[in-house]
Amino acid sequence: MNTTGDFDFFSVSDADRLRAAAHAKFAAAEAIHIPDIAADTPLRPVNHVAVIGAGTMGVGISMSLANIGIPVTLIETSTEALDRGMQRARDNYATTVKRGKLSQEEMNQRLAQITGSVQMMDAKDADLVIEAVFEDMALKQSIFRQLDALCKPGSILASNTSGLDVDQIAAVTQRPQDVVGAHFFSPAHVMRLLEVVRCAHTAPDVIATLMALGHRMGKIAVLARIYPGFIGNALFRNYTREAHFLVEDGALPHEVDATLTKFGYAMGIFAVHDMAGNDVGYQTRKAQMATRPTDRRWNDLIMKLCDLGRLGQKSGQGWYRYEAGDRTPLRDPAIEQFITDESARMGLPRRTMTEVEIIKRCLYGMINEGAKLLAQGIALRPSDIDITYLTGYGFPAQHGGPMFIADRIGLAHVLADIERLHAEYGFWWQPAPLLQQLVREGKSFADLQA
């Protein structure tokens, strides 16, 4: 049953392309406005920032700040780790110089803004501290306890966590009003998206200051509330889950990826996994497996790939295989056989998947989740979800974002498909009540914008 009528996912008219571009522009401008925070809220000064952790994120965040002339104290646990981080900053800048986009003098000026330290005490006078240590609640809480004890009153204490509950981090301090999430994306000196995560007690001027800082850094700051994965990763979970289920149900990785690139993504999700490393999040996931609900289906195939040593490009094989020194994903009969065997082991009859089916399952899970986020106020408005996706997740620009394309398809069509998928696949496809309401009222996501 094709309930979306004749909607064409794979070609976009010039007029629709222009509308999508106008929507993206509107969404970028709109994101900064927070309904309950006055536009003239006095901002806290941000003249000196301390970044805790000189790993992938800490270095990129430090560079983003140095790029706009803000002095940074970059704090690590050891001189070795600090040296590695500083070297990464130098290497990143050197690449930009080599590309002719930065002069050597500018590179030196920017690097001079970043001072390394192995003393947490050196964060004490910072106006803003951004914590970017390992994704570990106990570690982050111990750091926030230290920061609470040593930072000057009024310092903003931010965590770059990808998904931990920032309220639980704020709770260990005596100043939860100063604690906020600042979710940068990797590489942080390149990626334009910044999710500002509002906690239960975050003061309005802290939000306003971070949103403005994001703007100063040339980023799009989007406000989110606490929710697993905030806005971006919450939708992304739905996207990857369905892509993986599609593979368990009969599609092969290259078929899903080809459909996604035909839709407009630069890369398919399985090629992305192989690039990022299939082991990203492996430990966390393994730890969660014992206690997660058993009433629903989980996509664990990626864990099995890791157990087989198929980590992706770095191990020469993952969802694809790779020739030495070449990042082109090549079909691998061995993994295709493994997937087929796994489907049989799980009792899933494999069947051919059409492109339309593939794209609907990858896209409609995101739309449904987006509606759930809107209903709970996790995202303020549909355009915030769209701009999150356009700037942080490589969503094809010509489609204007998941909520924008949902309106174009027609919410009644989208809901009919979600209901069909719910009947067929159960739990994960429970239709969002807001989506049902909009359809009942003959409205679109755009109608929620105001």
Ligand X SMILES: NC(=O)c1ccc[n+]([C@@H]2O[C@H](COP(=O)([O-])OP(=O)(O)OC[C@H]3O[C@@H](n4cnc5c(N)ncnc54)[C@H](O)[C@@H]3O)[C@@H](O)[C@H]2O)c1
Q: Which residues bind ligand X (CB under 6 A)?
A: 52-58, 75-77, 81, 132-135, 139, 143, 160-162, 184-186
Considering the complex, what minimum distance in angstroms separates the CB of residue 96 from ligand X? 20
Cα gap 201→167, rounded to integer Å: 8
Question: Which residues are CB-contacts of 112 (< 8 A; sequence separation ≥ 6)?
Answer: none
Residue 127 beta carbon to ligand X: minimum distance, rounded to whole angstroms:
19
Other residues' Cβ atoms within 10 Å of the Cβ of residue 429: 20
User: Phi and psi at residue 349, in whole multiples of 5°?
Assistant: -70, 125
Which residues, 6+ apart, have CB-to-CB distance to 122 below 8 Å?
A: 50, 73, 75
Which C-beta is closer to ligand X: that of 77 or that of 354? 77
The 3-state DSSP class for residue 272 equals helix
DSSP state of 43: P
Report whether 157 contacts 130 (CB < 8 A): no
Question: Smallest gap, in angstroms, from Cβ of residue 450 to ligand X?
Answer: 32
The rounded distance, in Å, linking the Cα atoms of 211 and 43 is 10
In whole angstroms, the minimum distance from the beta carbon of 165 to ligand X comes to 12
Shortest distance, position 240 Cβ to ligand X, whole Å: 15
Nearer to ligand X, 53 or 431 (CB): 53
Which residue number, 27 or 143, has a Cβ lying nearer to ligand X? 143
Is residue 378 within 8 A of residue 183, CB to CB? The reply is: no
Q: Cβ of residue 132: shortest distance to ligand X, in angstroms?
A: 4
Assess contact for 174 and 158: CB atoms under 8 A.
no
Q: Please say which residue, 4 or 240, places its beta carbon nearer to ligand X.
A: 240
Q: Pick from 433, 238, 250, 437: which is nearest to 348 by CA?
A: 250
Please give the full DSSP string across 223-239, using - where no structure is assigned.
EEESSTTTTHHHHHHHH
In the bound state with ligand X, the residue whose beta carbon lies nearer, of 133 and 359, is 133
Maximum distance among all alpha carbons in the chain? Answer: 63
Name the residue number minimizing CB distance to ligand X: 55
Of 162 and 317, the one with the shorter C-beta distance to ligand X is 162
CB 37 within 8 A of CB 110: no
Number of Cα atoms under 13 Å in the Cβ half of residue 340: 9
To ligand X, the closest distance from the beta carbon of 66 in angstroms equals 17
Q: Which is nearer to ligand X, 236 or 270 (CB)?
A: 236
The one-letter amino acid code at 87 reads: Q
Q: Shortest Cβ distance from residue 140 to ligand X (Å)?
A: 7
β partners of residue 225: 198
Minimum CB–partner distance for residue 188 and ligand X (Å): 8
**Please, which residue, 93 or 364, has the CB nearer to ligand X?**
93
Q: Which is nearer to ligand X, 67 or 162 (CB)?
A: 162
Buried b (16+ CB within 10 A) or exposed e, 316-336: ebbbbbbeeeeeebeebeebe
* CA-wise closest residue to 434 among 406, 405, 408, 395: 406
